[in-house]
Amino acid sequence: MLINIDTPDIDQYLVYDCDGHLIPYVLSFDTDSEEIEISIGVHKKENETNHYVLLMQTVPFEDTTTSAPILVKFKLPGAYALKNGKAIN
């Protein structure tokens, strides 16, 4: 089953790794292939006072540019999803 941000009741689904840790910022998860896509923020140190800024990838548009989160897609063996705390069959 493919779960993504367009899935009805998406807020009822949670995705976990093989050790049962909740995976945040999931954009899509395929329960058959265990392929997951997440949005990540990469931080860099802004100055010596330990202030950090979020690095974003620049996405060009027709007449301007804008920033967007970094999306990563990979296979996560043993990952699983629950809907309202119950396993998806």
Residue range 22-36: mean pLDDT, rounded:
94
- Tell me the pLDDT band of 66, cut-offs 50, 70 and 90: low
Cα dihedral sign, 56-58-62-63? positive
pLDDT for res 76: 96
pTM for the model: 0.72
For the chain, the domain total comes to 1
CA distance 43 to 37: 19
pLDDT for res 71: 85
Is the confidence at residue 57, as pLDDT, over 70?
no
Q: How far is CA 32 from CA 2, 28, 80, in A?
A: 8, 12, 9
Residue range 44-59: mean pLDDT, rounded:
60
Is the confidence at residue 1, as pLDDT, over 80?
yes
CA distance 81 to 26: 11
**Tens-place pLDDT, residues 75-87:** 999 999 999 999 9
Residue range(s) defining the domain that contains residue 21? 2-87
